[in-house]
Amino acid sequence: MIWMEMARFGKKLVEQGLTGSRFGNISVLTEDGIVITCTGSMLDEIDEGQVVLVDRDRECAGDSIASCETPVHRAIYRRTDARAVIHTHSPYAVALSLLEDVVMPIDSEGIAFLGEMPVVDGPFGTVELASAVSDALIDHRACIARGHGVFARGGDLRDAYITASMAEHSSKIRYLVVWGRSSTKD
């Protein structure tokens, strides 16, 4: 049952401080379409009624209760090999997105496994953001919507979770070292 795995990773996201309970969304690509969290879902309290199946390629009736970021998830699935997407409002990643245009990890794991994270622009839930995020995720595992949060793709939910976790960890290290160093010079 897909919703149960989404619930497991939703709890992990909140417990690890990668997002607040009412922020972010999770989706999985299936043969039937995209299973995505509903708008307003608490990620640490997902149940069967908090996910909905939407069409992979076009708007459908399920969109009325699906996350407002459904167009972004659709674009990612159309343009990449992703099978799962996690969107968080990770605090350090969001902070860096307001300071930098590309977040380059400086920690060894981030350099080796994540690589740079482009910072993209566009109001949440829009075609503009969907285009910017999906463009970035063609060649990157994660990107950050400026002032909004991380979009991480993966071959499955575990992979997308690891990427989202690495994105925040690398953002935190970068923020503490680079921006902490600059604040001590003042």
Looking at the annotation, which residues are catalytic?
A: 69
Give the residue from 1, 132, 20 showing the smallest Cα distance to 76: 132
Contact in structure between 143 and 137 (CB atoms under 8 Å)? yes
48 burial level (CB within 10 Å; 0-12, 13-18, 19+) = exposed
The helices-and-strands tally (H runs, E runs) of the chain is 7, 8
Q: How many CB atoms lie within 10 A of CB 58?
A: 8
Q: CB within 8 A of 25, min separation 6: which ones?
A: 36, 37, 41, 43, 67, 69, 73, 86, 87
Sheet of 117-120: strand order equals: 51-54, 33-37, 25-30, 84-88, 149-154, 142-145, 117-120, 102-103
